[in-house]
Chain A
Amino acid sequence: MTDQTTHLTEDDRQSAADGTLPVERRADVEAHLADCDACAADVARITELMKRTRDAMLAPPSETASLDDLWSPIRARIEASKVVSLGTGARPSNSRPLISLIVGGIAAALLLTAVMLRVRPSEPRTSATAQATPDTSVLRAVSDSATAYEAEAQILLDRLEIQRATMRPEARAAIDRNLHTVDVAIAELKDAIARDPNNPALRQLLATSYRQKVELLKRANAS
């Protein structure tokens, strides 16, 4: 039984190493191990690795060197190749700046407004009115969120600029290509808003494009 396709499964090899093979598998697995040097050597290596891991975990804390100590050289290397520092080590989604929360809140309020407008589809005049004379508070909320995103985008952009030199050329090209696409959209929307300042749809689209830009920049920083 030395054919590649009939080797023991990972599960079997792990179980053989830690002695947790189900009774009904035991005979088959042992027969295979007696026959197959590759699997036998593999199980021996796993057994040895597990023993070492166990020993390390039983050792006093000083010998098991803290995870962060072990990780720091790696982290330093990752940091060096990155666009913007990881900060305190929290995942981006856990360290959303306040601005994102504010924007999130506004977006939620907008969604609610949108849903409220939508749940009365049988009143076309109401809908049409909403379209023609937008609620000023909605308008303000949308432009606030666009402004908040714009500010956040600028901060991220400044950071990106500092780190550009250390980026891989192909990564830099990809970021630039995507940024250009978003910036063209933002420019078109700003232009349209200048001509039609009270159109909430334009402002909502602008806020969405800014959100795209902010997320793109965050992605650029994280990769």
Chain B
Amino acid sequence: MKRLLIAIALVGRAALGQNAADGPILAAHGLDSSAFINMYVPAGAVRLIAWDRDSIVVRGQKSKHDRIFFGGGRQGVKMAVESPSGGDSEPSNLVVYIPRHGRVSVRTASANITGEGVAGTFNSSSGNIRLSGVVSSVEAESMNGSLDLDLTTPWLRARTGDGHLLIRGAPQDVDASTIGGTLDVIAPKVKRGQFVSVSGDIHWIGSPARGAVFDFSNHSGAVDLALTSTTSAALTLSSVSGDIENGFTRVRPIASPPRTVRFNLGGGDAHVSVRTFKGAIRVRPQ
């Protein structure tokens, strides 16, 4: 028993001890627990980790030619990686610990962003954004980077151009869109969801929550809903010129005006509306 406890303790320390590999400390500052952290990291990678301390600690590697600008007070700090020459800074690799109830506003050009339990806005031009944990709200945007959002949050807003957008975990109110990127949603707790694309396919897998209201809209991409057998939803599927495929063949449509199909699954608790211009709409059992 004692040996087991020691083993667990060692494993625990090994996992936590990886922090030591984060690199030298670049900045540290005491903060209020709800402080605002504004960051600009052009290239490389930035990993944000929420912790239960009232301070910010920045570790990592940066080019010796660049410097870290860091300033602020207890209510908030601003930091940026900058090149003294005024040109583009070289890639840096930062790990930033921030108070759990703080908020960040992170912007990058090509740097990838990772957030663990961190709320706020995340914006990258071409970097990928990967967020996880329990947070108060998140707004994540990239021009052509991919977004992997595995969050438990009451409010989530996500945008990408032609990157892949994956929404999982347990967000409740979701507003997500892509231009050409694929949008995948596997999030059973969504209460209100708006999922939009122009030419990327949208996939929804699972069973909508009771009373949920979903709105899917696509121009030329497909909307594919793979629903579990326990689904209780009223569906309205309409397309101007795309195919509408109903894989629940034993369910008779309630109404079928031109290019619109309406039918109920189970008691019809959730409301699901799908609209496309020429993209196919497929609804099928999971």
Measured CB to CB, the residues of A under 8 A from B are 4-11, 14, 38-39, 42, 45-46, 49-50, 53-54, 57, 64-65, 67, 70-71, 73-74, 77-78, 80-81, 91, 93, 111, 114-115, 118-119, 121-122, 124, 127-128, 131-132, 168, 170-171, 174-175, 177-178, 181-182, 185, 188-189, 192, 199, 201-202, 204-205, 208-209, 212, 215-216, 219-220, 222-223
In the A-B complex, list the 9 residue pairs whose CB atoms are closest, starting with the nearest.
Answer: A7-B20, A124-B255, A70-B71, A223-B125, A178-B161, A131-B257, A185-B219, A9-B16, A10-B19
Please tell me which one of the listed residues A64, A74, A121 contacts residue B40 in the complex, with CB atoms under 8 A apart: A74
Scoring B10, B73, B198, B255 by chain A CB atoms within 10 A of each residue's CB, the highest score goes to B198
**10 more A-B residue pairs beyond the given contacts A189-B219, A204-B275, with a C-beta to C-beta distance below 8 A:** A6-B10, A10-B51, A46-B57, A49-B25, A54-B30, A77-B82, A131-B258, A131-B260, A177-B161, A185-B219
Complex: A77 Cα to B107 Cα, angstroms: 13
Complex: A190 Cα to B264 Cα, angstroms: 33
CB pair B109 A168 closer than 8 Å? yes
Main secondary structure on A side of the interface with B: helix
Asked whether A78 and B124 contact (CB < 8 A) given A5-B17, A127-B255, the answer is: no
Complex: A149 Cα to B155 Cα, angstroms: 24
CB pair B40 A178 closer than 8 Å? no
A75 smallest CB distance to B (angstroms): 9
Complex: A117 Cα to B193 Cα, angstroms: 18
CB pair A222 B162 closer than 8 Å? no
Complex: A73 Cα to B234 Cα, angstroms: 55
Residues of A within 8 A of B10 (CB): 6
Residues of B within 8 A of A189 (CB): 219, 277
Main secondary structure on B side of the interface with A: strand
CB pair A115 B219 closer than 8 Å? no
* Size range of the chain B interface in the assembly: 35 or more
- 14 A-B Cβ contacts within 8 A? A5-B14, A42-B24, A49-B25, A65-B71, A77-B80, A91-B105, A115-B271, A171-B125, A177-B144, A185-B198, A188-B278, A192-B277, A215-B177, A219-B161
CB pair B180 A67 closer than 8 Å? no
CB pair A8 B264 closer than 8 Å? no
Residues of A within 8 A of B40 (CB): 74, 78
CB pair B217 A208 closer than 8 Å? yes
Measured CB to CB, the residues of B under 8 A from A are 10, 13-14, 16-22, 24-25, 27-30, 40, 51, 53, 55, 57, 59, 69, 71-74, 76, 78, 80, 82, 86, 97, 105, 107, 109, 121, 123-126, 139, 141-144, 159, 161-162, 177, 179-180, 196, 198-199, 213, 215, 217, 219-220, 234, 236, 238, 240, 254-255, 257-258, 260, 262, 264, 268, 271, 273, 275-278
